[in-house]
Amino acid sequence: MDWSTGLLGFAAGLLISVTTAPVGVSGAVFLLPIQVSVLGVPSPAVTPTNLLYNVVAGPGALVRHWRAGHLGGPLSRRLIAGTVPGVVIGAVIRVFAVPGPHVFRLLVAALLLPLGLWLWLRTLCPTPPSVLDQPSPHTTTSLALAVGVAGGIYGIGGGSLLGPILVGRGIPVATVAPAALASTFVTSVVGAATYALLSLAATGDVAPDWLLGLSCGTGGLLGGYLGARLQPYLPETALRLLLGTLATGIGALYTVQILR
C-alpha cells in the first residue's frame, strides 16, 4: 500500500463515520464498495479488512457514549448475544462457500431501500405511541444473529441493518445508536480474529489488508468520536430522518451496482 492509498482510506473512513456515527452505524457498509472499486482490495480479504476498520474506528464513538453514560443496558447485551455467534458462522461461510457479492448487493438493496423509505414515512407521519410494537427480547436477539451472519460474510458491522429496523419499531435513536455501535465493535473483534485463524487453514486472500484497514480505521476513529459528540445536539426527528436517508442511500447505491 502506498501513501496515497492510505491517505484516501483515512479520508474515506473519516467522512463516512462522522456522518453515520450519530445514528449508530459504523459506516462499513459504505466503505465496502470503496474498498472493492476504488482501493482494489481482493476478495475475500475485503471482508476482514472491513471488520478491522470497525475494530479500530469503533472506540472513537464508544468512548464518547461512555462518557455520556449511554453505554451498557439490556439492548446492547441482546445484540451482542446474537451478532457474536453469527459473525463466526458468517466468516466460515465466506471462506469455504464464498458467496458472491451480487447476492449481497441484492439482499441489501431489497432490505434497506424500502426500510429507509418506511422509516422516513413513519417519522413524518408518526404512529401513536400506544400502537408502536417494539420487538421482544427473543426477536431482537434472533434478528441480531441473522445480521451477525451477514456481517461475517460481508464485513459490515450490522448497525446499518439493525438501526433502521429497531428505530422504525419505536426504540429511540439515542438508545439504539450506542447499543448498535457496541455490538458492531465486539462482533468485528471476534470476526477479524476468526478470519485471522481461518487464514492459517485456507488458501487465497483471506487475511485482512492490515495497513489499509488501520488507515481507514484511524479516520473512522476520529470521525466516530466527532459524530457521537454531535448526536446530543441533533433532535430525534433529525436523527431518524438521517438514518432513513442512509438506509435509502445504501439501498439505492447497491441497486445501481446490480443494474450495471
Q: How far is CA 41 from CA 21, 35, 114, 239, in A?
A: 24, 6, 30, 32
CB of 198 within 8 A of CB of 206? yes
Distance CA 158, CA 162 (A): 6
Alpha-carbon distances of 4 from 9, 13, 30, 106, 212, rounded to whole Å: 9, 14, 20, 32, 11
Phi, psi (deg, nearest 5) at residue 57: -80, -30
Report the distance separating Cα 87 and Cα 132, nearest Å: 30
pLDDT attached to residue 133: 67
Q: What is the pLDDT of residue 156?
A: 76
Q: How far apart are CA 250 and CA 125, in angstroms?
A: 23
Burial grade of 170 (CB within 10 A; 0-12, 13-18, 19 or more): middle
| Model confidence, pTM | 0.79
Mean pLDDT by 10 residues, the chain (260 residues): 84 90 82 80 79 90 86 89 91 74 72 82 69 78 91 76 83 88 90 84 74 92 90 86 85 83
pLDDT of residue 130: 46
Domain carrying residue 210 = 3-259
Residue whose cell numbers read 457514549: 65
Nearest to 175 by CA among 224, 239, 251, 97: 239
- Cell numbers linked to 93: 461461510
Q: What pLDDT shows up at residue 4?
A: 84
Give the count of domains, the chain. 1
